[in-house]
Amino acid sequence: MCVNDILAQGAEPLFFLDYFACGKLDVGMAQAVIAGVAEACNLAGCALLGGETAEMPGMYPPGEYDLAGFAVGAVERGQMLPRLDRVAEGDLIVGIASSGIHSNGFSLVRKIVEKSSLDFSSPAVGDSSNQTLGEQLLTPTKIYSKFLVPVLRSGHVKAYAHITGGGLLENIPRVLPASFGVVLDALSWKIPKIFSWLQKEGNLSEEEMARTFNCGIGAVLVVQKELAGQVLADIQRHEEAWLIGKVVHCPAGAARVEVNNLLQALQANRVESFHSQPRKAQLRKTRVGVLISGTGTNLEALINSTKKPTSYAQIVLVVSNKAGVEGLKKAERAGIPTKVIDHKQYSSRTEFDSAVDKVLEEFSVELICLAGFMRILSGPFVRKWNGKILNIHPSLLPSFKGANAHKLVLEAGVRITGCTVHFVAEEVDAGAIIFQEAVPVKIGDTEKTLSERVKEAEHRAFPAAMELLASGAVKLGEDGKLQWNSEQHN
């Protein structure tokens, strides 16, 4: 905590001294504690110069001790942080991942555990490891100094805040001019499941969570918008980090930190699965991400399908390349996390797809459904997600590929059309077909009337294909053709 604090001035930690006080010295215990301090100094890149050990009989019961310490760092006077005169509206906020609680809020943590059905020896929550809950809560604080000092020295960072006691709400304003605040989006970073459990068990409000805990963000940087990508890339070589918000003008008396979607993000961790007692076996749900650009009519059909208890799919994220579209509202009403990634902010399709890919990875998406996503995906993205991207086309492929399918169908005079759900390949509308549904072309049909009937078929076909893939009944073979799993398909 000391060396992370020093970074707020832009300083590099030089050395640390400790103070160990007890009633009667237990050499083994003291050696273990000091060894931990020495390991932390090594991680921080600073020296452990020594300290003091004090025995005070009668002050401490056997087995108890006090531990304190301080660090000294150095920074060139011209490089000191924060650079308040340079902070401006529109600067971006880079958030660096925490490892968990980071030694803050433990009075509340202890009270929550005491009232819950778990104890410190219970299995860790939302974790497949062999950790206990106590070990999970005591996950060591991440030390940022070794990789962050060069970033701070680059001159690209205007301010740094260490998220300690007071959480996101109280620490960030300390490094900003009085006339500025920040707006953060909690859906833009990965929140460790322990925070979701604490919020649920303690029935805590969004404000209580943001004021008490770091909620997955151990430190934040204020960076000029044009330099944020470079700073983020430099940090991501060493640690998980995200663009989590921006600096805004803040009128006098207004809240300096606004954290949007925090409760939604915490609930996205599926905290209902945290139980102290074994539960009945449940269907293994495939995590689905849906990409949209507009109204999301097929999205609604997919959502309705996943609500069924027999569904093998769970939509965990909806991404749109356009803000304010109806599809985002449908997702939000269904309690599904949403993310807007504006393609106009990226210089190429590959860069945009890389941003989408990062968000999909953060939400542990396993299957992608394109539901009116009006973007052609780049080759690297398609190759990475080969066999895991579904698209629906309003014709019976391979006939009438591309745009204006309904117009082409009517011009050709065919009597049968329909829709096709297929895997996405690098060539447009050319991937292996999973599911088709036929729709008759009626005399007097217009593009509008035909489109309406095909859309109804899409609402049946797309969920059916998603369930086939999510359940493992079908998959894309190495030869690029559809393969059926006879054990799961009747």
Domain assignment of residue 316, yes or no: yes
- Catalytic pick among 393, 406, 422, 459: 393
Q: What is the mean pLDDT of residues 131-152?
A: 93
The answer to whether residue 62 scores a pLDDT higher than 90 is no
The answer to whether residue 278 scores a pLDDT higher than 70 is no
Bigger pLDDT: 50 or 381? Answer: 381
pLDDT band at 488 (very low <50, low <70, confident <90, very high): very low
Q: What is the mean pLDDT of residues 140-167?
A: 95
Statement to judge: residues 109 and 251 lie in one domain: yes
Number of folded domains that form the chain? 4
Q: What is the mean pLDDT of residues 381-388?
A: 95
Give pLDDT, residue 18.
94
pLDDT band at 267 (very low <50, low <70, confident <90, very high): confident
Statement to judge: residues 146 and 262 lie in one domain: yes
Statement to judge: residues 368 and 403 lie in one domain: no
Task: Say if pTM beats, i.e. exceeds, 0.95.
Answer: no
pLDDT in tens, 2-53: 999 999 999 999 999 999 999 999 888 899 999 999 999 999 999 999 889 9
User: Which of 377, 408, 443 is where one domain is finished?
Assistant: 377
pLDDT in tens, 154-201: 999 999 999 999 999 999 999 999 999 999 999 999 999 999 999 999
**Catalytic annotation on 393?**
yes
pLDDT in tens, 456-471: 999 999 999 999 999 8
Statement to judge: residues 112 and 250 lie in one domain: yes
pLDDT band at 489 (very low <50, low <70, confident <90, very high): very low
Lowest mean pLDDT across 120-129, 227-236, 254-263: 120-129
We report the CATH number of the domain holding residue 340 as 3.40.50.170
We report the CATH number of the domain holding residue 9 as 3.30.1330.10
Statement to judge: residues 369 and 433 lie in one domain: no
Statement to judge: residues 91 and 202 lie in one domain: yes
Statement to judge: residues 265 and 333 lie in one domain: no
- Residue 329 belongs to domain spanning: 283-377
User: Which of 359, 377, 395 is where one domain is finished?
Assistant: 377
Give pLDDT, residue 117.
83
Beta carbons within 10 angstroms of residue 265's beta carbon: 23
CA dist 374 and 390 (Å) reads 14
Statement to judge: residues 316 and 405 lie in one domain: no
Statement to judge: residues 160 and 304 lie in one domain: no
pLDDT band at 270 (very low <50, low <70, confident <90, very high): low
Contact at 8 Å (CB) between 1 and 62? no
User: Which of 79, 100, 127 is where one domain is finished?
Assistant: 79
Statement to judge: residues 400 and 478 lie in one domain: yes
The answer to whether residue 77 scores a pLDDT higher than 90 is yes
Domain assignment of residue 278, yes or no: no
